[in-house]
């Protein structure tokens, strides 16, 4: 049934996908070889008749018909109609797979919430999961041809153990013109309520959870029944099928190689075999065959769902979970990482390349020295490149440079004692030895100048520079053209050596009062 090839394409290697072209089961060759052989046969017959049977006058009429078909056959919107139809069919096919009924969640709740290791408790749990599997079986019998062949009558259902003879008698006594897949769900709900009254289900919340999962399972079954009931409109399927086959019927005549002596446009050569026409038939007809195979995934095609396997698996797993595994727990022991707070499972040599460091975010390296230096040099390059180009243009036009392109100059301001904050923003310069330099804002009652503080460096004030246009941006100290201007000795006004390259300089986003008025 389902053709699985995931392991063959686990790694994208040379010729990995090409090897799939050589498979027969589930392939396009298996679906299309009959139609393809028929198309080649009809094309060959028309070609032989045109070349050997028709007279010259009849050939001219055939050539006119061929040119006419070639002109108007391309107006059939095969690609648009077929592409939209196949997309609709594939989405519908995948949604049906997502709504296949799986009892796993329900059997977990039953195994953990329905108490009792005695015979009655075991009977109660097994009966509940048997009703669940009976519901899915009744649905699969109504939508899947493979399941219907396996269980053609209710006698086969009773013989398979999904239903007891007494339950079948009650089932047959219920008169309803509709599909009676919902009857086992009613039995399930009533039996769960009885278990709650008897104390087998100790809490009403547990009963509610079981019934909610039962309703989820019933919704899956009803969805499959709805997909089987309401399909893709027949008119759309007919339009697509007629469009494809009409187009290729016209191609049988329009794609014939005509006599080159007649000098028809596009018929300069006579190749006998229409290679690209055959490829076009292969692709378009194969596209249609994909839709024909997936429109009902509960048939017996190669890629249809394994409904019989699903029935077997669900029954075996659910009975095992609620019976033999009910409260059957292994002995608890300390794990191998009991005294290790950093658990690191080992790798084999084959999987050593999979051991990679944790991902900490794409902006992790933005605070490193290398990134800040790169940002610094890129900013300076852009600024001076812009200044150079625009300066030449303005000199050519005799226009004065605007203030934003002029070199930054020192700005000295005296703040009054009633200023609300420091004039300077807060800087911090960290060194490798753990010490740092920072600008500490003075109190409103003192002087407004800020100072750099370090134990082994003399106190010196910052010289105010217009070197920042945005608040809170991270910049290197020395963003101005000459970094040595930034550090001025407090006593004599002499320049101090510039800050080394291994110093991490950050502009903290905390700005007090009117500290950014001139930045």
One domain, residues 454 and 495: yes
**499 near 480, Cβ under 8 Å?**
no
CA 296, 297, 298, 302 torsion-angle sign: positive
Model confidence at 383: pLDDT above 80 = no
Instruction: Determine the 3-state secondary structure of 163 from DSSP.
Output: coil
Model confidence at 464: pLDDT above 80 = no
In a domain, 511, yes or no: yes
In a domain, 351, yes or no: no
One domain, residues 26 and 113: no
Report the distance separating Cα 181 and Cα 224, nearest Å: 12
Model confidence at 20: pLDDT above 50 = yes
One domain, residues 445 and 499: yes
| pLDDT higher at 2 or 484 | 2
One domain, residues 243 and 258: yes
Boundary-marking domain end, from 294, 314, 338: 294
One domain, residues 477 and 374: no
Neighbours of 262 (CB within 10 A): 10
One domain, residues 400 and 497: no
Model confidence at 33: pLDDT above 70 = yes
Tell me which residue of 244, 241, 237, 235 sits closest to 295, measured CA to CA: 237
Q: Residues 310-324: what's their mean pLDDT?
A: 96
Report the distance separating Cα 510 and Cα 25, nearest Å: 69
Q: Give pLDDT tens digits for 223-279.
A: 999 999 999 999 999 999 999 999 999 999 998 888 888 888 877 777 888 899 999
Task: Quote the pLDDT of residue 9.
Answer: 75
What end-to-end distance do the CA atoms of the chain give, in Å?
73
Question: Which residues share a beta bridge with 451?
Answer: 440, 461
| pTM across the whole model | 0.67
In a domain, 226, yes or no: no
One domain, residues 424 and 501: yes
| pLDDT higher at 176 or 488 | 176
Q: At what angle do helices 78-98 and 204-229 cross, to 10 degrees?
A: 150
CA 118, 122, 125, 127 torsion-angle sign: negative
Task: Give the number of domains in the chain.
Answer: 4
Residues in the chain: 519
Boundary-marking domain end, from 276, 294, 312: 294
CA 250 to each of CA 19, 36, 39, 72, 453: distance values in angstroms, whole numbers, following the listed order: 35, 15, 12, 9, 90
Model confidence at 514: pLDDT above 60 = no
One domain, residues 387 and 418: no
Q: Using pLDDT thresholds of 50, 70 and 90, give the confidence band for residue 306.
A: very high
In a domain, 515, yes or no: yes
In a domain, 180, yes or no: yes
- What the block records as the tokens of 5 is 């090839």
Q: Give pLDDT tens digits for 419-451.
A: 444 444 444 444 444 545 444 444 444 443 434
Boundary-marking domain end, from 386, 405, 424: 405
> Largest alpha-carbon pair distance within the chain?
116
In a domain, 429, yes or no: yes
Q: Give pLDDT tens digits for 121-179.
A: 999 999 999 999 999 999 999 999 999 999 999 999 999 999 999 999 999 999 999 99
One domain, residues 158 and 253: no
In a domain, 342, yes or no: no
Task: Categorise residue 161: left if φ over 0, alpha if ψ from -120 to 50, beta otherwise.
Answer: left
Task: Quote the pLDDT of residue 418.
Answer: 47
Model confidence at 489: pLDDT above 50 = no
Report the distance separating Cα 126 and Cα 321, nearest Å: 9
**386 near 371, Cβ under 8 Å?**
no
Range of the domain at 482: 407-519
One domain, residues 401 and 481: no
One domain, residues 426 and 506: yes
Per-chain mean pLDDT for the chain:
79
One domain, residues 89 and 238: yes
Q: Give pLDDT tens digits for 333-351.
A: 999 999 988 888 999 998 8
In a domain, 60, yes or no: yes
Give the torsion through C-alpha atoms of 255, 257, 258, 260, to 10 deg.
Answer: 140
Q: Using pLDDT thresholds of 50, 70 and 90, give the confidence band for residue 7.
A: confident
């Amino acid at each position: 049934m389902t053709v699985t090839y995931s392991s063959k394409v686990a790694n994208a290697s040379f010729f990995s996908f090409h090897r799939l072209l050589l498979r027969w089961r589930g392939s396009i060759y298996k679906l299309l070889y009959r139609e393809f052989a028929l198309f080649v046969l009809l094309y060959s017959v028309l070609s032989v008749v045109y070349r050997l049977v028709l007279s010259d006058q009849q050939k001219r009429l055939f050539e006119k018909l061929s040119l006419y078909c070639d002109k108007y056959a391309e107006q059939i919107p095969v690609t648009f109609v077929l592409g939209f139809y196949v997309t609709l069919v594939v989405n519908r096919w995948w949604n049906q797979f997502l709504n296949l009924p799986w009892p796993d969640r329900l059997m977990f709740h039953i195994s953990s919430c329905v108490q009792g290791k005695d015979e009655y408790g075991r009977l109660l749990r097994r009966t509940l999961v048997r009703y669940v599997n009976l519901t899915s079986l009744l649905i699969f019998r109504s939508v899947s041809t493979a399941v219907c062949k396996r269980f053609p009558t209710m006698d086969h259902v009773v013989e398979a153990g999904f239903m007891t003879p007494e339950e079948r008698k009650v089932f047959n006594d219920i008169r309803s013109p509709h599909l009676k897949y919902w009857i086992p769900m009613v039995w399930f709900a009533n039996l769960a309520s009885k278990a709650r009254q008897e104390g087998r289900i100790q809490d009403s919340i547990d009963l509610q959870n079981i019934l909610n999962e039962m309703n989820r399972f019933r919704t899956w079954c009803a969805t499959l029944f709805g997909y089987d009931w309401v399909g893709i409109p027949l008119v759309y399927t007919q339009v697509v099928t007629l469009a494809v086959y009409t187009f290729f019927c016209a191609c049988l005549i329009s794609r014939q190689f005509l006599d080159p002596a007649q000098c028809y446009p596009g018929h300069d050569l006579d190749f006998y075999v229409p290679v690209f026409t055959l490829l076009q038939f292969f692709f378009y007809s194969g596209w249609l065959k994909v839709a024909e195979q997936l429109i009902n995934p509960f048939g017996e095609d190669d890629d249809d769902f394994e409904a019989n396997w699903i029935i077997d698996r669900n029954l075996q797993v659910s009975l095992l979970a609620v019976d033999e595994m009910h409260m059957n727990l292994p002995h608890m022991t300390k794990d191998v990482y009991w005294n290790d707070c950093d658990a690191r499972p080992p790798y084999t040599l084959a999987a050593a390349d999979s051991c990679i460091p944790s991902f900490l975010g794409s902006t992790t390296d933005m605070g490193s020295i290398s990134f800040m230096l790169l940002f610094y040099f890129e900013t300076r390059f852009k600024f001076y490149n812009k200044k150079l180009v625009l300066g030449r243009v303005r000199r050519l036009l005799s226009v004065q440079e605007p203030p934003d392109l002029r070199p930054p100059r020192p700005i000295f301001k005296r703040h009054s004692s009633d200023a609300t904050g420091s004039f300077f923003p807060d800087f911090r310069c960290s060194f490798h030895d753990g010490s740092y330099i920072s600008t500490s804002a003075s109190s409103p009652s003192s002087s407004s100048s800020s100072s750099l503080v370090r134990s082994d460096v003399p106190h010196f004030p910052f010289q105010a520079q217009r070197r920042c246009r945005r608040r809170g941006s991270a910049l290197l100290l020395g963003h101005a053209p000459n970094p040595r201007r930034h550090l001025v000795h407090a006593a004599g006004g002499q320049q101090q050596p510039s800050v080394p390259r291994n110093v991490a300089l950050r502009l903290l986003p905390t700005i007090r009062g009117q500290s950014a008025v001139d930045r």
